[in-house]
Chain A
Amino acid sequence: MSLLSLFTRKRSAPVARERLQLLLAHERALEGHTDLAAILQEEILAVIAKHIPIDRDKVNVKLDRGSQVSTLEIDIQMPPAAKA
């Protein structure tokens, strides 16, 4: 906690409300389905694997769900031989 935040301390409940709304909207949409991010990753990897051999251990997926935009980041380390 910085000195500044001592003075500008916001109430925590509105933050909680916002976080929950975002999360629950996502989880309700998901009910009964697999996570879209996981499906996307599988399919994207399958497409790439058609052209380049990829090591599953060298694939990193990061996700950040926002209220306006979400980002899905798939980081694939290519084998040296496959350099474009």
Chain B
Amino acid sequence: MSKVMVVTSGKGGVGKTPSSAALGAALAQTGQNVVIVDFDVGLRNLDLVMGAERRVVYDLVNVVQGDAKLAQALIRDKRVDTLSLLPASQTRDKDALTEEGVKKVIDELREKFDWVICDSPAGIEKGAMLAMRYADLAVVVTNPEVSSVRDSDRIIGMLDSKTVRAENGEKFEKHLLLTRYSPARAARGEMLKVEDVLEILAIPLLGIVPESEEVLNASNVGCPVTLHNPVSAPARAYMEAARRLLGEKLDIATPTAERQGFIGRLFGRKAIA
């Protein structure tokens, strides 16, 4: 049974694209067949973060509009052969994607892949709607910061009302991925606590990705962080999140500033997922 998973947030720049790449690669590394679809039409970036920018010939819009076959637009990752990418187009035409067109592509992708990961654009407009429309589950990427949490709350409301699953009264799984978490700032009481965010948004926690320069390094060289530096803290967090998506029950530890490593581990929390 294939799963269509939207990675969304409402707010821009919270890390949806690096998270889509990292989760996609992590799932693919376990042997799952994965495709990551860039829904950010007009502002494509997933190709760059995945290091495939020089290989783009066709894109999602070409496939939706029938100018290219799906197989022609898919780009197979050179490092993990169970990982593929479907790039977004750079067109400025906001109506390039249609609901029926997207449905057709998603249906076709479902047949080929175990996981179809939709990297949503920011906002609550058409692009974000289409990215979530046919999803079975969502990863809501949130930074521990007031405006991000607020926007996530709006997106959660939309996931519960605007997706096909929600409209049919079916269950729609939502997972919270807290990114750019800074242990030092948390220790100084300058950042919303994990507990606070969880209490406000009231969806199960999938993982906590610490703020780390490794995420930026990985984007710089065009490689998902789980492949670029697998032992780094963000890579581990993403790999564990991927295992939770596959149904494993793993404790989620709140990242701590280096010095507090041991104490922090004592306060590890049970996954609610």
Measured CB to CB, the residues of A under 8 A from B are 1, 12-13, 15-16, 19-20, 22-23, 27, 30, 35, 37-38, 41, 56-57, 59-66, 70
Contacts and interface: CB of A to CB of B under 8 A. Distances in A.
Contacts of B30: none
Contacts of B62: 38
Interface string B208-225: 000000001111111000
Contacts of B218: 12
Contact of A60 (B56, B71, B231): B71
Given A15-B220, A16-B221, A57-B71, A38 B58 contact: yes
Contacts of A23: 48, 53-54
A19 B72 contact: no
Interface of B: 48, 51, 53-58, 62, 67, 69, 71-72, 90, 216-222, 228-231
Decide if the interface of chain A is mainly helix, strand, loop or mixed.
Answer: helix
Decide if the interface of chain B is mainly helix, strand, loop or mixed.
Answer: helix
Contact of B48 (A13, A19, A61): A19
Contacts, number: 57
Contact of A64 (B54, B67, B69): B54
Closest 9 CB pairs of A and B: A12-B220, A16-B220, A65-B54, A12-B217, A63-B57, A15-B221, A23-B53, A61-B57, A37-B57
A45 to B, nearest CB: 11
Contacts of B230: 1
Contacts of A30: 90
A65 to B, nearest CB: 4
- Report which residue of A12, A16, A30, A65 has the largest number of chain B beta carbons within 10 angstroms of its beta carbon: A12
Contacts of A13: 220
Given A27-B90, A57-B71, A59-B72, A19 B57 contact: no
B45 to A, nearest CB: 11
Contact of B54 (A1, A15, A63): A63
Contacts of A65: 54-55
Contacts of B231: 1
Contact of B221 (A12, A22, A61, A62): A12
A61 B220 CA distance: 27
Contacts of A59: 72
